[in-house]
Amino acid sequence: MTQETYQARVPIFPRSVKGRFRFLKYAILFLAYGIYFSLPWIPWERSNAPDQIVLFDLVGRHFYIFDLVVYAQDIFWLAGFLVVGALLLFFVTGIAGRVFCGYFCFQTLWTDVFMWIERQVQGERNARIRLAEAPLSPAKAFKFLLTHLLWLCVALATGLTFTLYWGYAPDIVHQLITGTAPFPAYATTLFLTLTTYVMAGLAREQVCTYMCPYARFQGVMFDSDTLVVAYDDKRGEQECGRCKPARGLKDRDERHRKGYGDCIDCGYCVQVCPMGIDIRNGLQYQCTSCALCVDACDTIMDSINYPRGLIRYSSENALSGKPTRIFKLKNIGYGFATVLTIALLVWSITTRSLVEMAVRQIRQPISVTLADGREQNRYEIKINNKTSETVHYRFGLQGLDGAELALDGSTKLEIAPESSVQFVTLVRLSPRDVRESRSRFQFVLQPISEAVAEPESWDAVFYVPANRLTPIQ
């Protein structure tokens, strides 16, 4: 059989279904949308930034997340957060399969919303198939245009909301409408509107099967004990396979006597599948574990008084009658790594210092001899005030007896909220006061204000060339 080099998308018309998992998925959808769309509008009192609960201020290089202010130098937390996310994903996937894909992935969530809109405008599966095959008419054109228009509205709301996180939301909306917003605001909104429209409206399951890297490599986390949405082949097929409930095959015992399985081949599980696959063919890489086929099958089983669970969450081992092992090295390892990285991240965030000093010794020249015979070292100091109040410090040094601190200014420092000061300081010391070339000492910040109570110190090294040291007698 020959085929073209390129393949058009085969349209899928999923049928709606009610059930436990559908309810759970809607609940998660409402929660996720509630958080995503409302966060930029929740006020949060701040002394020197807009009162917005989550604000990513790229220009000012400050990320505000509730009471946490993330500075540019703390950006490794983002790496930590991503590592936690990845490990959590591995851990969950190892035990329960593609939970993220089926319930939480924004591709799944947005596609769900787009399909809901589609159904409200164009009707249920059969109506949509008929409409797609019907010749172009004003009614068809209207329904299609309305669908796409509503999709674009949701897409625009999505793109706009994303943009609002990067500035003060009311200002950005006002600027966008009056045409005074910065170019990136328009570009971001437009780009995300288009990608949302294309991914959730047009490409849909192709995103999961062709684009998503996770969908392709998640298989390596799977094993025979992983929970998957599975069709109970033994129960459904028996010896003679599935068959429609024809005369003489309606009663369950009757079917079993004749060797037929519990699957009545109604096809509901196939019709509801957003990926367009038949779960009865076994585990397939397209399956996102959305569990809608479970709901579909349960509905049918209930209606003909068969026990539920012909399609259910199960593992390969459970299906073949073997025990499912959750506590194994792989899962424990993923779990341990997840807990460890979360602990490290939380530790790093909770123990963050509200004032930071960077000491950089100027190494060219590293040391000079002064007229009176003392040695002089220079240090570039940068002090960062991470609090949202003005702080006052006295700058000094300790641990270097006989040393003199010379500053091109006052040792009293006043640092504005969320900003830093930078200056050069000189340290002078007689070579007679030290025994070694390298002497460790500390620069100290003694707080004068109330905001920070503890004095902070940072290590530094004073260098004296070996030939300037007093020879040991």
Rule CB under 8 A: which residues touch another protein?
A: 1-12, 202-203, 206, 210, 267, 270-271, 276-278, 281, 362-365, 368-373, 376, 378, 406, 408-409, 414, 421-424, 426, 467-468
Residue 101 has, within 13 A of its CA and on its CB side, a CA count of 30
- Cα separation of 279 and 294, whole Å? 10
For another protein, which is the closer residue by CB, 2 or 303? 2
| Residue 197: CB minimum distance to another protein, A | 13
For another protein, which is the closer residue by CB, 13 or 90? 13
- Cα separation of 105 and 212, whole Å? 11
| Residue 422: CB minimum distance to another protein, A | 5
Q: Which residues share a beta bridge with 252?
A: none
| Residue 210: CB minimum distance to another protein, A | 6
| Residue 365: CB minimum distance to another protein, A | 4
For another protein, which is the closer residue by CB, 161 or 271? 271
For another protein, which is the closer residue by CB, 121 or 383? 383
For another protein, which is the closer residue by CB, 73 or 422? 422
Give one word for 289, left, alpha or beta, with left for phi > 0 and alpha for psi -120 to 50.
Answer: left
For another protein, which is the closer residue by CB, 224 or 284? 284
For residue 465, count CB atoms less than 10 angstroms from its CB and return exposed for 0-12, middle for 13-18, buried for 19 or more: middle
For another protein, which is the closer residue by CB, 78 or 202? 202
- The answer to whether 367 and 431 have CB atoms below 8 angstroms apart is no
Closest by CA position to 387, among listed 99, 22, 2, 49 = 49
Residue 5's φ and ψ, nearest 5 degrees, are -70, -25
Query: From the CA atom positions of the chain, what is the Rg in Å?
Result: 33
Helix axes 20-38, 138-164, angle to 10 degrees: 50
For another protein, which is the closer residue by CB, 267 or 333? 267
| Residue 435: CB minimum distance to another protein, A | 19
Extract the runs of DSSP E, i.e. beta strands, from 124-281: 228-231
| Residue 440: CB minimum distance to another protein, A | 23
| Residue 77: CB minimum distance to another protein, A | 28
Tokens representing 122 are 């164009």
| Residue 465: CB minimum distance to another protein, A | 8
| Residue 7: CB minimum distance to another protein, A | 4
For another protein, which is the closer residue by CB, 175 or 286? 286
Q: Which residues of 422-454 are buried (b: 16+ CB within 10 A; e: fewer)?
A: eeebbbbbbbebbeebebebbbbbebeeebbee
Q: What count of other Cβ atoms lies within 10 Å of the Cβ of residue 142? A: 11
- Cα separation of 431 and 345, whole Å? 45
The residue behind tokens 């006295």 is 394
